[in-house]
Amino acid sequence: MTIATSTKPQFNWFHIAFFVPLHIGALLALFPAFFSWKAVGVCLLLYWITGGLGITLGFHRLVTHRSFQTPKWLEYFLVFCGTLACQGGPIDWIGMHRIHHLHSDQELDPHDSNQGFWWSHMGWMLHHSPAFAEVPRFTKDIADDPVYQFLQKNMVFIQVALGVVLLLLGGWSFVVWGIFVRLIFVWHCTWFVNSATHKFGYRTYESSDRSTNCWWVALLTYGEGWHNNHHAFQYSARHGLKWWEFDLTWMTIQLLQVLGLATNVKLAPEK
């Protein structure tokens, strides 16, 4: 696999035009007119649905790494929740993450942490990444699925529809907190997995990259902060491998097992 690289990547003005207004919109939460405790509650609920069930459980552990299996209807539901996080369509997100694991902290890694915290956190998305051209090679298992195609193509429209529903339910405070604040918070929590967990924390395993286990990122991302463990055992549905490495997503998978909704659960070998 070869990906053309450039020492001076061009700015991706489409991404910049997408990120900047949403960050500015989140600042509206500082004004009393847009505050209500119900709106904060909506934000926290959607943070769990989109970041926890969607990105961590659905996009990452279920589909990207196939750490376990679920009925197709549940897979589609979790991927829909991930699409609501607005971190790109599911096909692009999953493909880019698979590329990251293949080349973690090397030149071909889209968010190579050797290029600095800012770059790995979000700077790479503000530039044209040649890795996007390789996504089809890494997503052949989902690329022809009509549900994935629909979510990939309609991510923004789905988010707008959610905004309309929130507006009708609770006015602009629900929109500001349920869309703007929630999106920005979920984004940066997810991006900390690319940046902070390649810089801060401890290493239990000698992986071929700079991945670390970072407790506070694990708390923010429902267990994704145990990143060194994950890079050592990418297939494992459980990331918190020590008894004190709290992993809420693993607990969710265990609940799904009890309900008969999670099967073929893959785990790292016990020491």
pLDDT tens sequence for the chain (271 residues): 444 444 557 999 999 999 999 999 999 999 999 999 999 999 999 999 999 999 999 999 999 999 999 999 999 999 999 999 999 999 999 999 999 999 999 988 999 999 999 999 999 999 998 888 999 999 999 999 999 999 999 999 999 999 999 999 999 999 999 999 999 999 999 999 999 999 999 999 998 899 999 999 999 999 999 999 999 999 999 999 999 999 999 999 999 999 999 999 999 998 6
First to last CA, the chain: 35
Q: How far is CA 207 from CA 108, 130, 192, in A?
A: 17, 25, 19
What pLDDT is stored for residue 129 in this prediction? 86
Residue type at position 6: S
- At residue 271, the pLDDT reads 66
Q: Is residue 121 part of a domain?
A: yes
Residue 75 covered by a domain: yes
**pLDDT for 82:** 98
- Does the residue 232 lie in any domain? no
Q: Quick one: angle between helices 155-170 and 146-153, nearest 10?
A: 70
What is the predicted pLDDT for the residue at 112? 93
Domain span at residue 110 reads 41-198
> Do residues 35 and 173 make contact, with C-beta atoms less than 8 angstroms apart?
yes
Query: Within a domain: residue 86?
Result: yes
- What's the structural domain count of the chain? 1
Per the document, the length of the chain is 271
Contacts of 109 (CB under 8 A, 6+ apart): 99, 100, 103
Q: Phi-psi category of 22—alpha, beta or left, where left has phi over 0 and alpha has psi -120 to 50?
A: alpha
Task: Mark out the alpha helices in the chain (DSSP H runs).
Answer: 13-26, 37-47, 72-83, 90-102, 117-121, 135-138, 146-153, 155-170, 172-175, 182-195, 215-220, 227-232, 248-258
What is the spatial distance between Cα 112 and Cα 198, in angstroms, rounded to a whole number?
9
Report the alpha-carbon distance of residue 88 to residue 253 in Å, rounded.
24
Report the distance separating Cα 75 and Cα 56, nearest Å.
Answer: 13
Q: Quick check: is 242 in a domain?
A: no
Whether residue 266 contacts residue 71, with contact meaning beta carbons closer than 8 Å, is answered with no
Provide CB contacts within 8 A for 5, sequence distance 6+.
107, 108, 130
pTM for this prediction: 0.93
